[in-house]
Amino acid sequence: MTMYQPNSEQDLADLLRDADAPLAVQGGATRGVNIAGAPLSTCALNGVRLYEPGALTLVAGAGTPLPEVEVLLAAENQRLAFEPSDLRGLLGTDGIPTLGGAIATNTSGPRRIQSGAARDFLLGVRFVDGMGQIIKNGGRVMKNVTGYDLVKLMAGSHGTLGVLSEVSLKVLPSPECSGTLIWENLDWQASLAIFSAALNSPYDVTGAARLPAFGERPAQTLIRVEGFEASVSYRLSELSGHLKTIAQSAEMTMDVVRNAQLWRSVRDVEPFVGKEGDLWRSSIKPGNMPAFVAALDGEHMIDWAGGLIWSLVPKGRDVRAALNGFGGHCTLLRGAHHLLRFQPEPAPLAALSAGLRKKFDPRGILNVGLMG
């Protein structure tokens, strides 16, 4: 099958205007989804157009490889604070993740609970809709309420409303240091209590997760803080004292390599790499986590202080049944299934979403059927 790879925004617009069949929009194709139609890659729409460290702003083509952005930012001691996951290991894909792909999927790692999701750092977009029209929204400044916020709508729209050509992002300084408290073998309830107490403290926690047991290693409940070195060590010891009533003897580490490895493991869901089973990602109210996982067999990794659950379950299991009126939603990431990848929305919201798709992609050619 031909693979389209437009070299400019105008090329992309021409291509979409003239298209007469469905297209499967992709960045680095690291998500491993099968979508009907000829692949349309944004990879050639790449390059950083503007980077102002003093203004915390970056503007780049949607196809810009994420690693390239990360290296550029690191040279100025800055980073993408939403900590985008790299799920290639988990999904068994290769290819290079792109900035546009991270935005289109609104992917956010452990720091989501403190600093926000990808959508919260997206300042502006340029995209081409399903009719081939070039549209911009937002801009490159940090505060902008001029007209409707289509920026948020495009983040997480998985290429179903338009093809992103350029994105502007707010970036943040990298902290001097990270530190983590580690408890072993805490159950769901105790882990939740740790998360809750840690986040309900003044110590600005930037990660709260639980890794399942893995080979020799027992399950680990983790709390992270970041900042200036003295401040990190102060907050870790305050937290550790503060949380003693829930669980004794936390290990404390400020080792650079260890911290990077621990949180990469959470971010990229490493414990489930190479394991059999269907893979689900559920966003729920943190307090419902223990009941939710109890209703399921399989293995679970917890992030976002209990609000995000990665579940590896036997093939064909409907994880959504465990929501049981809790609210929240479950997305199927890996597994052949009769169920939709995305959780079906309640009728009135589904109607609004369908209405929006009809406006932005009236001919129905962009990632057809992916989101519903």
**For another protein, which is the closer residue by CB, 41 or 78?**
78
- Separation CA 341–CA 278 (nearest Å): 11
Q: How far is the CB of 156 from another protein (least distance, A)?
A: 5
Select the span of 39-47, 91-99, 147-155, 241-249 touching another protein (CB under 8 A): 147-155
Dihedral, 27, 31, 32, 34 alpha carbons, nearest 10 = -70
- Separation CA 49–CA 58 (nearest Å): 8
336: its two tokens? 């052949």
Q: How far is the CB of 238 from another protein (least distance, A)?
A: 8
Q: How far is the CB of 3 from another protein (least distance, A)?
A: 27
Tell how strand 177-184 and strand 251-253 pair up: antiparallel
Q: What's the maximum distance between 2 C-alpha atoms anywhere in the chain?
A: 65
353 forms part of the interface with another protein (CB under 8 A): yes
Q: What is the CA radius of gyration of the chain?
A: 21
161 forms part of the interface with another protein (CB under 8 A): yes
Q: Which of 39, 140, 264, 339 binds another protein (CB under 8 A)?
A: 140
Q: Residue 27's closest CA among 85, 66, 71? A: 66
116 forms part of the interface with another protein (CB under 8 A): yes
Give, as ranges, the residues between 237 and 296 that touch another protein (CB under 8 A): 283-287
Cβ 86 vs Cβ 99: under 8 Å: no
**For another protein, which is the closer residue by CB, 120 or 299?**
120
Binding mask 45-64 for another protein (x = CB under 8 A): -------xxxxxx-------
Q: Which of 93, 152, 214, 299 binds another protein (CB under 8 A)?
A: 152
Q: How far is the CB of 216 from another protein (least distance, A)?
A: 33
332: its two tokens? 């199927």
- Separation CA 61–CA 166 (nearest Å): 4
Binding mask 187-206 for another protein (x = CB under 8 A): ---------x--xxxx-x--
**For another protein, which is the closer residue by CB, 96 or 150?**
150
Distances (CA, A) of 22 to 79, 134, 158, 207, 306: 36, 19, 15, 40, 38
